[in-house]
């Protein structure tokens, strides 16, 4: 597609998945409308660490110079605190850290620069599906017709197959802290019923994100400072800059779209426990992969069906070990004594990290060129 007959794709949601998909399709001559309900820049509950496995694909849309200009930090080491002990690893390849307010705004600007029409703020209320056409209804009463719909809204609730349910019993929280700069270090802390990540981002701030059991959040009366003080004894509320934000924790296997002209990417397609900074990488990878596949397809039902099968197969390969691996590590991180007992397994940290990246299919050469 994309040549002569240019189909019109509507993408719901301008997070990393929607923005890179819009960029990829617009670059290949597609008519793309990207609809985003939040005025950008917007805050998102996220640890703001982009896995080394996504470095190439991120730098494919945002060159290193643009990332550095925005204040993004190169992350090269990870430190794990569990059961009163700390251990440091060198990452097998450098990663990035940048606030989602800045990162998502930069990605959206790249999509617009490539020719995607951006409607924001524009909240999708409802989607009507006919055999060959799709109609989106917006909160302000406007409608938009499209031939292809791509769900990148973080849940997929407008796809006939329905929304991905969040992980039961877990809450995600995030704030920015005024900590001494951590340099190129990502810190992960194991705590009873929770895990916490901190990393330096732009503006001299550090991002603090945590996943905690709901019972702990309730016991702290929903107060992030109180919760963090129980999980991280050194934490001082005076470090906090700005408010705490809370969200559910998306988690689930790949969900097949419920209509032949419907596609799902990012958290609207599948989500793993956010213990290894996986989500942005998966969002970028899936958005770019779908864009490349669609742009090569013919505007026929058979060709679109092939794209649906190809993206499903790619997801299954990518998540086969990773979903289970992230689940297991998240469960261990919420049991610091068990994490402490497992220290000997991490006897050679660099090798463990390489094995983890290999076993989870996160080739460190996941470059845009290879797709």
Ligand X SMILES: Cc1cc2nc3c(=O)[nH]c(=O)nc-3n(C[C@H](O)[C@H](O)[C@H](O)COP(=O)(O)OP(=O)(O)OC[C@H]3O[C@@H](n4cnc5c(N)ncnc54)[C@H](O)[C@@H]3O)c2cc1C
Q: Where does this chain bind ligand X (CB under 6 A)?
A: 12-18, 35-38, 44-50, 123-124, 152-154, 172, 174, 209, 211, 247, 249, 266-267, 274, 277-281, 283
**Which residue lies nearer to ligand X by CB, 280 or 329?**
280
Q: Minimum distance between the CB of residue 268 and ligand X, rounded to whole angstroms?
A: 6
Q: Which C-beta is closer to ligand X: that of 6 or that of 123? A: 123
Which C-beta is closer to ligand X: that of 253 or that of 340?
253
- We find the least distance from the C-beta atom of residue 42 to ligand X, in angstroms, to be 6
Shortest distance (Å) from residue 302 CB to ligand X: 28
Nearer Cβ to ligand X (99/308): 99
Helix (H, G, I), strand (E, B) or coil at 252: strand
Q: Name the β-bridge partners of 8.
A: 31
What the block records as the tokens of 23 is 């960029």
Helix/strand/coil percent split, the chain, to 5: 35, 25, 35
* Residue 153 C-beta: closest distance to ligand X, Å: 4
274 to 20, 171, 234, 327, 334: CA distances (angstroms): 20, 12, 23, 9, 13
In this complex, which beta carbon is closest to ligand X, that of residue 48 or of residue 147?
48
- Shortest reach from residue 301's CB to ligand X, in Å: 27
**Closest separation between CB of residue 250 and ligand X, Å?**
7
Tokens of 35: 């609809």
Tokens 């994309």 -> residue: 2
In Å, how far are 173, 270, 302, 316, 352 from 265, measured between CA atoms? 23, 8, 20, 13, 30
Q: Is 209 helix (H, G, I), strand (E, B) or coil?
A: strand
Q: How far is CA 239 from CA 138, 180, 226, in A?
A: 40, 10, 13
Nearer to ligand X by Cβ, of 17 and 297: the residue is: 17
Return the number of the residue (157 or 259) whose C-beta is nearest ligand X: 157
Q: How far apart are CA 280 and CA 291, in angstroms?
A: 16
- Per the CB < 8 A criterion, the answer to whether 48 and 278 are in contact is no
- Evaluate whether 145 touches 39 at the Cβ level (below 8 Å): no
- Closer to ligand X by Cβ: residue 13 or 345: 13
CB of 204 to ligand X, least distance (A): 19
Least gap, CB of 128 to ligand X (angstroms): 15
Q: How far are the Cα atoms of 155, 232, 365 from residue 192, in angstroms, in the given order?
A: 28, 10, 35
Q: How many CB atoms lie within 10 A of CB 69?
A: 12
Three-state secondary structure call for residue 353: helix
């Amino acid at each position: 597609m994309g040549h002569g007959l240019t189909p019109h794709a509507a993408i719901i949601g301008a997070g990393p998945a929607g923005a890179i998909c819009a960029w990829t399709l617009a670059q290949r001559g597609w008519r793309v409308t990207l609809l985003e309900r939040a005025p950008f820049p917007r805050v998102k509950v996220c640890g703001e660490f982009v896995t080394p496995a996504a470095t190439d694909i991120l730098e494919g849309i945002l060159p290193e110079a643009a990332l550095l200009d925005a204040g993004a930090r190169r992350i090269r080491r990870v430190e794990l605190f569990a059961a009163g002990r700390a251990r440091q690893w060198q990452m097998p390849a450098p990663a990035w850290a940048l606030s989602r307010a800045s990162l998502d705004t930069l990605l959206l600007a790249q999509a617009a620069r490539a020719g995607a029409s951006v409607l924001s703020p524009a909240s999708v209320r409802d989607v009507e599906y006919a055999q060959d056409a799709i109609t989106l209804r917006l909160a302000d009463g406007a409608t938009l017709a499209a031939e292809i719909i791509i769900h990148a809204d973080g849940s997929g609730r407008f796809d006939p197959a329905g929304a991905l349910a969040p992980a039961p019993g877990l809450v995600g929280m995030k704030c920015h802290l005024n900590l001494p700069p951590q340099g190129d270090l990502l810190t992960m802390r194991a705590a009873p019923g929770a895990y916490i990540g901190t990393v330096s981002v732009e503006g001299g701030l550090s991002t603090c994100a945590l996943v905690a059991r709901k019972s702990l959040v309730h016991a702290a009366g929903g107060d992030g400072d109180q919760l963090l003080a129980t999980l991280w004894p050194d934490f001082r509320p005076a470090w906090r800059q700005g408010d705490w934000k809370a969200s559910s924790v998306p988690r689930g296997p790949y969900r097949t779209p419920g209509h032949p002209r419907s596609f799902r990417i990012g958290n609207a397609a599948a989500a793993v426990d956010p213990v290894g900074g996986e989500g942005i990488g998966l969002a970028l990878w899936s958005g770019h992969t779908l864009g490349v596949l669609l742009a090569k397809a013919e505007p026929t039902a058979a060709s679109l069906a092939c794209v649906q099968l190809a993206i499903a197969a790619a997801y299954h390969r990518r998540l086969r070990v990773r979903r289970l691996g992230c689940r297991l590590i998240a469960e261990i991180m919420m049991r610091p004594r068990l994490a402490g007992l497992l220290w000997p397994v991490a006897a050679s940290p660099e090798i463990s990290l390489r094995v983890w990246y290999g076993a989870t299919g996160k080739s460190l050469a996941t470059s845009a060129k290879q797709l």
